[in-house]
């Protein structure tokens, strides 16, 4: 079967790829698994040196890989290049901290020499989405590899060129063969691979349905898994918020990556006394976002990653409008070639509808509430629990509200973002486990107690 890489901004075919058969996939996984023992026994200092070289590769290849990201998934070129800088920073963080984060932990235990060791478990399968073609991979791969594991990547078939380039980046950094390999294949082969003896665990970023399917397959084989799934992140605006700061944050939080991010703010829950003022300012700023040529460094809004993604957004907005939502700006496909959708703000939105279905594009839903108590209730009334933001001039109040939000991450007076220094992940149907920081580093290790009498 062939798949096509398509430029979302021009609708032209970049390249065609032949999907790998089940046997080809298993052969690659076997090679990666065979490379694991030597890599796991490589000294940590040497693994750290490889990671430092990878950081250099990302910075040196930012123009090349950035153009590839833009060409394949439609991200504005400035944002695409910044992806590579973020990857470099991740590599730097783990190179600087891996020794301390993986160090044996002494335990006071009956006078015996006792400690907890963290050891790699094998070859890990990464199943990754298209929205951040490099950073999404690396926030899983960098800690997993520096811990001593090896990786097979099954990237989204929307971005096969980026998948191959990710493998290339490890080769450019001089890593041994088969430490990181990419496969291009169908879902059936992936399902078979999860059950194979070559895979010790799996990490998936994707939809709730995909996460449940992986959990079922991995569970049958008693294999460790980490899931980073969807989000319908609340953006809570309290009556004492600084609206200049808040509205700028609202645009940044909703429009990052053209709204195609699990941690983008999606439900704007605003206390009634400031709702009109907030909405007016928010709409003005959304209208000012520059949409157009994705290779133009001044462009702020890119194309949606695929025709299917564009059609989903059109359907979702149409359904919300049919149920009473009012379009304050945007609300339609942009009048240009490519899969572009105008930055959109909807008011009079039924909170229960947007709480159930993630809107993965440049569409903001404003929900008006009476007070802080109702804002928290509406924020938590969703199956998701990934990220959230709270906006208030009172930092103590912000912290108190943050503690009441059912979410893996809450930022007060700032937008949610992934950073290798803090754990990333969600609760409820937004996922299981953590990425990034020391917590992400230890996910695919055997936490082993050693007692010497």
Token pair recorded at residue 178: 């088969």
**pLDDT in the model for residue 350:** 87
**pLDDT in the model for residue 101:** 98
- List, for residues 2-29, the tens digit of each pLDDT value: 999 999 999 999 999 999 999 999 999 9
Beta bridge partners of 182: 153
- 171 contact partners, CB below 8 Å, separation of at least 6: none
Catalytic positions, written as ranges: 228, 262
**CA 53 to CA 61: how far, in whole Å?**
12
Domains of the chain: 2-228+428-452 (3.40.605.10), 233-412 (3.40.309.10)
Task: Give the residue from 209, 132, 207, 158 showing the smallest Cα distance to 417.
Answer: 132
Token pair recorded at residue 402: 């943050």
- List, for residues 319-348, the tens digit of each pLDDT value: 999 999 999 999 999 999 999 999 999 999
Task: Give the residue from 128, 160, 135 showing the smallest Cα distance to 6.
Answer: 160
SS3 state at 386: coil
- Rounded to the nearest 5°, which phi and psi values hold at 230? -80, 175
Task: Give the residue from 240, 227, 243 showing the smallest Cα distance to 394.
Answer: 240
The angle at the Cα of 104, spanning 46 to 42, to the nearest 5 degrees, equals: 20
Single pTM value for the model: 0.95
Give the pairing of strands 387-391 and 2-6. Answer: unpaired
**pLDDT in the model for residue 355:** 87
Token pair recorded at residue 95: 């190179």
**pLDDT in the model for residue 351:** 85
Per-residue pLDDT of the chain (453 residues; tens, 9 = 90+): 899 999 999 999 999 999 999 999 999 999 999 999 999 999 999 999 999 999 999 999 999 999 999 999 999 999 999 999 999 999 999 999 999 999 999 999 999 999 999 999 999 999 999 999 999 999 999 999 999 999 999 999 999 999 999 999 999 999 999 999 999 999 888 999 999 999 999 999 999 999 999 999 999 999 999 999 999 999 999 999 999 999 999 999 999 999 999 999 999 999 999 999 999 999 999 999 999 899 999 999 999 999 999 999 999 999 999 999 999 999 999 999 999 999 999 999 988 889 888 999 999 999 999 999 999 999 999 999 999 999 999 999 999 999 999 999 999 999 999 999 999 999 999 999 999 999 999 999 999 999 999
DSSP state of 430: G
- Rounded to the nearest 5°, which phi and psi values hold at 286? -65, -40
Token pair recorded at residue 424: 């990333």
């Amino acid at each position: 079967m062939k798949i096509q890489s398509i430029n979302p901004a021009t609708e032209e075919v970049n390249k065609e790829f032949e999907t790998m058969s089940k046997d080809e996939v298993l052969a690659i996984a076997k090679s990666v698994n065979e490379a694991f023992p030597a890599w796991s026994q490589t000294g940590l200092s040497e693994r750290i040196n490889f990671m430092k070289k990878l950081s250099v590769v990302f910075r040196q290849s930012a123009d090349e890989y950035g153009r590839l990201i833009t060409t394949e998934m439609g991200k504005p070129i400035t944002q695409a290049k910044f992806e590579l800088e973020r990857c470099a920073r991740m590599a730097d963080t783990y190179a600087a901290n891996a020794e301390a984060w993986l160090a044996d932990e002494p335990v006071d235990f009956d006078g015996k020499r006792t400690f907890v060791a963290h050891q790699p478990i094998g070859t890990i399968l990464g199943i990754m989405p298209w929205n951040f073609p490099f950073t999404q991979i690396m926030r899983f791969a960098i800690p997993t590899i520096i811990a001593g594991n090896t990786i097979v990547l099954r990237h989204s078939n929307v971005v096969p060129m980026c998948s191959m380039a990710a493998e290339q980046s490890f080769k450019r950094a001089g890593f041994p063969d088969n430490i990181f390999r990419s496969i291009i294949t169908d879902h059936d082969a992936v399902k078979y691979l999860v059950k194979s003896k070559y895979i010790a665990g799996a990490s998936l970023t994707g939809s709730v349905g995909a996460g449940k399917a992986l959990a079922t397959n991995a569970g049958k084989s008693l294999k460790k898994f980490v899931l980073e799934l969807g989000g319908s992140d609340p953006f809570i605006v309290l009556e004492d918020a600084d609206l200049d700061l808040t509205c700028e944050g609202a645009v940044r939080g909703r429009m990052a990556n053209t709204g195609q991010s699990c941690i983008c703010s999606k439900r704007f829950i605003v206390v009634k006394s400031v709702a009109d003022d907030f909405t007016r300012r928010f709409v003005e700023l959304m209208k000012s976002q520059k949409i157009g040529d994705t290779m133009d460094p001044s462009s702020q809004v890119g194309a949606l990653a695929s025709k299917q993604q564009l059609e989903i957004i059109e359907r979702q907005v149409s359904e919300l409008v049919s149920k009473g939502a009012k379009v304050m700006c945007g609300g339609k496909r942009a009048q240009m070639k490519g899969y572009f959708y105008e930055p959109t703000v909807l008011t009079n939105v039924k909170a229960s509808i947007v709480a159930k279905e993630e809107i993965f594009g440049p569409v903001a839903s404003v929900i008006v509430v009476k007070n802080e108590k109702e804002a928290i209730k509406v924020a938590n009334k969703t199956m998701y629990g990934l990220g959230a933001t709270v906006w208030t001039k009172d930092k103590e109040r912000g912290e108190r509200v943050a503690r009441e939000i059912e979410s893996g991450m809450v930022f007060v007076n700032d937008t949610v973002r992934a950073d290798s220094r803090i754990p990333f992940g969600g609760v409820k149907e937004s996922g299981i486990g953590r990425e990034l920081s020391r917590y992400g580093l230890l996910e695919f290790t055997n936490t082993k107690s050693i007692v010497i009498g």
